[in-house]
Structure 1
Amino acid sequence: MRTILITGQGGSGRTTVAAATALKAAREGTRTLVLSADRTDSLGAVLGVPTGAEPVEAAAGLTAWRPDAAEGFRADLVAFQERATSVLDLLGASRLDAEELTPLPGAEELTLLRALRDATLSEAYGLLVVDLPPGPQALALLGLPEELRRYLRRLLPPERQAARALRPVLGRLAGVPMPAEWLYDTAARWDIELAAVQSVLEESSTTVRLVAEPGPGGTDHVRTVTVGLALRGLRLDALVANRVLPGTTADTWLAGLVAQQRKALEHWRDAYGGRNDDGAKDGDRSDGGGKDGGEARPEAHVQVHEVAHLGRDPRGGDDLAALDVPDVNPAPSPP
């Protein structure tokens, strides 16, 4: 299964691009799942179909899912309390009821990672499109599985787990209960789950698409995120320039904005998009070479793709279909 991770500058329309990408793939015949972790149903607003804790059919061949972080957090913590009864009793701690639990910061991101793992294991889809948080948060999220696994290894090193048979003796000598068997089992289960997510992120079939509006702010964001992706070994296959205005306009106010967008697009093509063999700039291909002396980029070949401004906020399948987002499925080979 192919996985496309979509992130970008806050307010750049990354959820819209994610929805349009998923819909395009579904209409081309690929069974597709689009995931989002937003507390507000921005994905449902764009698709025109409310999304929530249960997957819903948003269109033919397209399923949308916005997992409930609060419910998952409550279930996990209640289960943890049940297994940690002896430790809580030793500390004199009272248990929390599920109704009084609210998700901690980052719960949405952890829920999204779990949903990503579950969707991959289900093998029910040919394509998974993930609507990630804005760039900096997305980078932290994508590095979370590896970091959490490292913390687990520090807290419960494998070499110490070999001495679990000595726990009763050590407990009597120390005068306090030693970590119970369930603690090691829980750590091992978490490590397996995190390893599964990390494996999905490291698959060659997993790519990132970065969404930004062409302009000074977008250029700074693109530079920061592309470096972060490269450091984490994540493959960027497309830079999506969203809400691009027409190249010609009689409006003098818009003319300045158009010129600003064109300048940013020129820079992105030079730095990331490459050139044709004849030297012509290439903003819509994924196999061009880079320009010597340009910015260091995470990939030698990154597609810079323009998505025109519709003149309104896209809503529903027809508007999403009108957005010329990058292709998902390879074009058929000529006979």
Structure 2
Amino acid sequence: MRILLFTGKGGVGKTTLAAATAARLAVSGRKVLVASTDPAHSLGDVFGAPLTGEPSEVDTCLYAAHVDARGLVDKSWQDIRRQLRDWLAGVGLDELDAEELTVLPGVDELLALSEVARLAGQGRWEVVVVDCGPTAETLRLLALPEAIADYVDRLFMPSLRAKASALGRLAEHLGRLRRLLTDPSVTSVRLVTTPERLVVAETRRTLAALALRGIRVDSLVANRLVPRGRMWQGPAASWLRTRRAEQDAVLEELAASTPLRVHLVEHRPAEPVGVHALLELAGDLYGDADPLAEPHGGDDAVRPLVDLRPLDEGGYELAIALPLTDTAELDLARVGDDLAVTVDGVRRLVAVPVLLRRHEVTDAFIDERGLVLRFEGEA
């Protein structure tokens, strides 16, 4: 079973491309579910069919659903929260403290992601395609399992969690969700962008943020390119050729900055609505290739976050596989036995290998491996 997460800056066409990918996979005979966690819920508009929180068949082998995060909060979280509140009150906290301690940030987004995992775990589908929200919301969404698990760990000791069945189930569930998201053989992200410098800059930042989360990106999709029209004439034709040349320059810079494959999709004269139109779009997106085929650069996409190498002259190099750019805002700090790496505001604690815990960092630089730290001597 595979899970494909589509995300990108708002308005780049990720919902349409997610739906086109799902339609293409279904035509090949795979049983596919495409689910939207985007609050905008435009997936039904793309298929031209009403959707609910329960998967419904929109074509042969193709199912679709809108995940209703608000409804999940009302249905599922309130019961867990009530159990936790009652248990906390029972171990000596007053009612107000117990109420405050059971308010977890981002629980609606977390439940939306949990619902996707639940649907994927039913075993009914070979592929689950997820239309995520805009990039910023998606990064927050994908960070939640780890963030809330850490919150629970700090708030409740393991011995107390064992006595609270609801809390224990929540901790176990968060662990499974994290493992699912960071398993490169199951889950990967496809980043959708448009060939504009501001959008591509956000895409590069997103690549680094996902790498810090340990979440695999398997390819990029550059959408809405101006079509090539060599026979066009007149002022409008000149403008279109100039615009496409600008887009090609941006794409060359993007391709040079990442080993990932960049799929190109030209702007279409009509908005694709319905399975037939989506299949035509999928033809532009994938050509004759299987959407699940390992793309060029796949080995780089799944390389380990941290790679340790000894140096011939003594000491070690620790490479952290981050797709950094010259404009990235990078901050490093040693926190006990961890290295706090912050890239463009996204922070991750990276465990320093035991071998290096009595060494100190003497140099840091960026090469094709990402961020490279040089450790020498004993602290």
Pair 1:328 & 2:308 matched: no
Q: 1:130 to 1:187 in 2, by over 3 A?
A: same
TM-score (norm 1): 0.75
Q: 1:90 to 1:153 in 2, by over 3 A?
A: closer
Pair 1:91 & 2:103 matched: no
Equivalences for residues 143-154 of structure 1 within 5 A: 143-154=143-154
Q: 5+ residue gaps in structure 1?
A: 96-103, 165-180, 273-300
Equivalences for residues 281-320 of structure 1 within 5 A: 301-320=259-278
Aligned counterpart, 2:348: none
User: Is 133-142 or 42-51 further displaced after alignment?
Assistant: 133-142
Pair 1:216 & 2:212 matched: no
Aligned counterpart, 2:47: 47
Residue type at the aligned position of 1:262:
D
Distance in structure 1 (CA, Å) of the matches to 2:213 and 2:165 = 29
When the two chains are superposed, the root-mean-square deviation of aligned CA atoms in Å is: 2.6
User: Is 116-125 or 16-25 further displaced after alignment?
Assistant: 116-125
Identity over aligned pairs, percent: 34
User: Is 117-126 or 80-89 further displaced after alignment?
Assistant: 80-89
Q: 1:20 to 1:144 in 2, by over 3 A?
A: same
Distance in structure 2 (CA, Å) of the matches to 1:80 and 1:124 = 27
Question: SS where residue 241 of structure 1 aligns?
Answer: strand
Task: Report Cα offsets for 1:261-304 as digits up to 9, x if no partner.
Answer: 111111122222xxxxxxxxxxxxxxxxxxxxxxxxxxxx4111
Aligned counterpart, 1:124: 124
Matched residue count:
275
Aligned counterpart, 2:240: 254
Aligned counterpart, 2:79: 79
Distance in structure 2 (CA, Å) of the matches to 1:305 and 1:5 = 16
Question: SS where residue 121 of structure 2 aligns?
Answer: helix
Distance in structure 1 (CA, Å) of the matches to 2:239 and 2:193 = 21
Query: How far 1:11 moved relative to its partner?
Result: 0.3
Which of structures 1 and 2 has the larger relative contact order (alpha carbons within 8 angstroms, sep 6+)?
1
Question: SS where residue 49 of structure 1 aligns?
Answer: coil
Aligned counterpart, 1:2: 2
Q: 5+ residue gaps in structure 2?
A: 295-379
Task: Report Cα offsets for 1:82-104 as digits up to 9, x if no partner.
Answer: 534584995389x9xxxxxxxx9
Task: Report Cα offsets for 1:190-235 as digits up to 9, x if no partner.
Answer: 0111112111111122111000111112221111111111111222
TM-score (norm 2): 0.67
> Which structure shows the higher strand fraction?
2
> Which structure shows the higher helix fraction?
1
Pair 1:200 & 2:186 matched: no
Distance in structure 2 (CA, Å) of the matches to 1:207 and 1:77 = 27
Distance in structure 1 (CA, Å) of the matches to 2:146 and 2:106 = 16
Task: Report Cα offsets for 1:152-174 as digits up to 9, x if no partner.
Answer: 1111121x439x8xxxxxxxxxx
